[in-house]
Amino acid sequence: MTIATNLTAIKDLILTYEKKYGREEGSVKLLAVSKRQSIEKIKAAVEAGQVAFGENYLQEALLKIRILADPPLEWHFIGPIQSNKTRKIAEHFAWVHSIDNVKIAKRLNDQRPAHLPPLNVCIEVNVSGELTKSGVSLKDTASLTAYCFSLPRLKVRGLMTIPAFHASFIEQRQAYNKLYTLWQQLHQHHGSLDTLSMGMSNDFEAAIAEGSTLIRIGTAIFGERDVSDQVTVTAI
Ligand SMILES: *Cc1c(COP(=O)(O)O)cnc(C)c1O
C-alpha cells in the first residue's frame, strides 16, 4: 500500500463514519502523525495533498520543518512538553495539542513571536485517570481552560486526549464520551471552542462516533514507526 492509497482509504472511512454516526460531512479533520517517519514518506503525503502533520519530538520536528519548508505545511506539536522546549515550540508550530499545566501555557503565550498569529492550543485531558499518563484531570480541566483563555497569544481551540488502550469498541466509546461530555460543558461558557482532538489509528471510528473533530493518525498512513535514530540522521 502506498501512502497516497492509505490517505484515500482513511478519508473514505472518515466520510463513512460521518454518515454512520450522523455527523456533518467534512466535520472531522485528519492530522497525519509523522513522528519517527522519514522525510520521504512525509513528502509522499504532501504530494497526495496532506497539509497538517503532527510531531512529538522537538529536535526531530525542527529538522523536518526546516527541510519541508516549501510548500508551507501546518505543524502540530502533540507530545509531552518540557519547559525548556516551549520557546522553539512557540516559534515553529501552528498548533499545540498537549497543554496540561499553567506553567507551560504561560511560557508558550509569552514566547509566541509577535509576527505570528496566536498559537492554536488544545488542553490535554487524562480521561482514564492513569497516573503514568500526561494530561490534566477531568476536574481541573475547566480552570486550566479558563486560564488559557486569559492568555492573549494563545487561541484556545478545544480538548485532546489519549485514552488508556481498550480493545473493545464499547470501552473506546465510553472513554471518548467522557471528553465529549466535558467539552460540551466548557462550550457553554466558551462558545468559540471548535476542536475535539481524539482518535488514533486503532480507535478513530469510536472517536468519530463520540464527536471528534480531528483524528490523529500515524501508522495507518505511514506504516510502523522507525524506533532507531535513522529518522533524525536522515533528516539531517
Ligand atoms: C503517536 C501518536 C498518535 C498516532 O498514533 P497511531 O496509532 O500511529 O495512529 C496520535 N496521537 C498522539 C498524541 C501520538 O503520540
Q: What is the pLDDT of residues 175-228, one digit of tens each?
A: 999 999 999 999 999 999 999 999 999 999 999 999 999 999 999 999 999 987
Instruction: Give the pLDDT score at 236.
Output: 42
78 Cα nearest atom in ligand 1: 13
The total of other beta-carbon atoms located within 10 Å of residue 235's CB is 18
What share of the chain has pLDDT > 90, as a percent? 92
CA distances from 155 to 95, 106, 122 (A): 9, 13, 9
DSSP state of 85: G
Task: Decide if pLDDT at 169 tops 70.
Answer: yes
Instruction: Give the pLDDT score at 132.
Output: 72
Q: Whose CA is nearest to atom 5 of ligand 1?
A: 218
Instruction: Measure 199 CA to ligand 1 centroid, in angstroms.
Output: 9
216 Cα nearest atom in ligand 1: 10
Q: Whose CA is nearest to atom 4 of ligand 1?
A: 218
CB 96 within 8 A of CB 118: no
Instruction: Give the pLDDT score at 230.
Output: 62
Instruction: Measure 33 CA to ligand 1 centroid, in angstroms.
Output: 6
User: What CA–CA distance (Å, rounded) separates 65 from 205?
Assistant: 30
Cell of 137: 484531570
**Which backbone phi and psi does 70 adopt, to 5 degrees?**
-135, 125
Name the pTM for this structure: 0.96
Q: Which of 123, 158, 168 is nearest to 141 (CA)?
A: 123
Q: Whose CA is nearest to atom 6 of ligand 1?
A: 218
What type of residue is 129?
G
Task: Decide if pLDDT at 117 tops 50.
Answer: yes
Instruction: Measure 115 CA to ligand 1 centroid, in angstroms.
Output: 30
Q: Whose CA is nearest to atom 11 of ligand 1?
A: 216
Instruction: Measure 41 CA to ligand 1 centroid, in angstroms.
Output: 16
What type of residue is 200?
M
User: What CA–CA distance (Å, rounded) separates 76 from 221?
Assistant: 17
Instruction: Measure 114 CA to ligand 1 centroid, in angstroms.
Output: 31
217 Cα nearest atom in ligand 1: 9
pLDDT (average), residues 14-32 = 98
User: What CA–CA distance (Å, rounded) separates 145 from 147?
Assistant: 5
Q: Which of 131, 104, 109, 107 is nearest to 119 (CA)?
A: 109
Task: Decide if pLDDT at 85 tops 90.
Answer: yes
User: What CA–CA distance (Å, rounded) separates 164 from 61?
Assistant: 25
